[in-house]
Amino acid sequence: MSVVKRVSMIFKAKANRALDKMEDPRETLDYSYQRQLEMLTQVRRGVADVATSRKRVELQMNTLQQQQAKLDGQARTALGAGREDLAREALTRKSALQTQLGDLQTQYQSLQADEEKLTAASQRLQSKVEAFRTQKETIKATYTAAEAQTRIGEAVSGISEEMGDVGMAVQRAQDKTAQMQARAGAIDELMASGALDDVTAQPNDDIQRELDSMGASHDVDRELARLKGELDQGEAPREIEGSASGAGGTTGNGQAGRAADQPQAGEGS
């Protein structure tokens, strides 16, 4: 028999079994309504779970992106200092992070799609539950048990089908979320262990350490140059002052002031 008809029959069989349990079919209405409310709670919880997972993946993505930016900056500094080997190392680590980031991006999109689907499913079920509640009261008020049977059967099997569908969607989302959480947990652990090239977040960041020490020796060189400059210029103004004493002290003082400013301005750049 056809696939789609068989699936539909299985759904109906499940609904009928619920109906058969009750002696008075009208009791089925209340029983089914209770189940509907439970299912609504379940699907909303499902939406929240998927959202939590999505946010966790988002945080991990942000962390990896920050690390990439840092490695990029380090590569730039290293290259500027003529250390191509260090720049290469930083860029190699950056590209290793890119693989992880790509994987996280795929997960993120998948979770986002699941979240949208479940939200839509929750809204569909909500509309049907509201319609069912109205119909339930009408049926209970208007019909005897015998008369009500057909109408109840229709209403209950329609909404049972919706609940079966939503229930499966929640189950699928939960299974997927559980898998992704396991992977997210693994990435967190890798990050914590430093094995995921997370050297930038560690105090023993070797690239940074080398850049820092390079920076430190640069600072010393620059300091030396500044001192030498001061010494040279310190002698020069005295000569100017000495030779130009007759021309007036104000001009000489002004020149000495400007000369003293120059190394400081150079230091900032």
Partner 1 sequence: MIVRILGEGQLEVPDSAAGELNELDGALETAVERDDEEAFRPALTALLAKVREVGSPTEAGDLRPSELIIPQPDATMAEVRKLLTDEGLIPG
Displacement of CA 225 from its chain's centroid (Å): 48
Exposure of 152 in the CB half-sphere (CA atoms within 13 A): 28
Q: Is 155 in the site for partner 1 (CB under 8 A)?
A: yes
CB 78 within 8 A of CB 87: yes
Cβ nearer to partner 1, comparing 124 with 226: 124
Interface residue with partner 1 among 8, 105, 109, 150 (CB under 8 A) is 8
Q: Is 228 in the site for partner 1 (CB under 8 A)?
A: no
Interface residue with partner 1 among 15, 75, 90, 104 (CB under 8 A) is 15
Cβ nearer to partner 1, comparing 147 with 154: 154
Interface residue with partner 1 among 44, 117, 140, 226 (CB under 8 A) is 117
Q: Residue 139 and residue 141: Cα distance in Å, rounded? A: 6
Q: Is 176 in the site for partner 1 (CB under 8 A)?
A: no
Look up residue 215 and give its two tokens.
């920076």
Contacts of 206 (CB under 8 A, 6+ apart): 199
Shortest Å distance, C-beta 127 to partner 1: 4
Shortest Å distance, C-beta 91 to partner 1: 37
Q: Is 180 in the site for partner 1 (CB under 8 A)?
A: no
Determine the size of the site formed for partner 1 (CB under 8 A). 41
Cβ nearer to partner 1, comparing 33 with 263: 33
Exposure of 42 in the CB half-sphere (CA atoms within 13 A): 19
Interface residue with partner 1 among 44, 124, 140, 226 (CB under 8 A) is 124
Contacts of 197 (CB under 8 A, 6+ apart): 93, 96, 97
Cβ nearer to partner 1, comparing 108 with 132: 132
Q: Is 28 in the site for partner 1 (CB under 8 A)?
A: no
CB atoms within 10 A of CB 109: 12
Cβ nearer to partner 1, comparing 7 with 220: 7
Shortest Å distance, C-beta 132 to partner 1: 6
Interface residue with partner 1 among 24, 84, 130, 212 (CB under 8 A) is 130
CB 86 within 8 A of CB 207: yes
Q: Is 86 in the site for partner 1 (CB under 8 A)?
A: no
Q: Which residue, among 55, 151, 144, has the nearest Cα to 108 in the 3D structure?
A: 55
Q: Residue 165 and residue 116: Cα distance in Å, rounded? A: 16
Interface residue with partner 1 among 22, 35, 174, 256 (CB under 8 A) is 35
Q: Is 40 in the site for partner 1 (CB under 8 A)?
A: no
Encode 206-242: b = buried (16+ Cβ within 10 Å), e = exposed.
ebbebbeebeeeeeeeeeeeeeeeeeebeeebeebee
Q: Is 159 in the site for partner 1 (CB under 8 A)?
A: yes
Residues in touch with partner 1 (CB under 8 A): 1-8, 10-15, 18, 35, 117, 120-121, 124, 127-128, 130-132, 135, 154-155, 157-161, 163-165, 167-169, 171-172
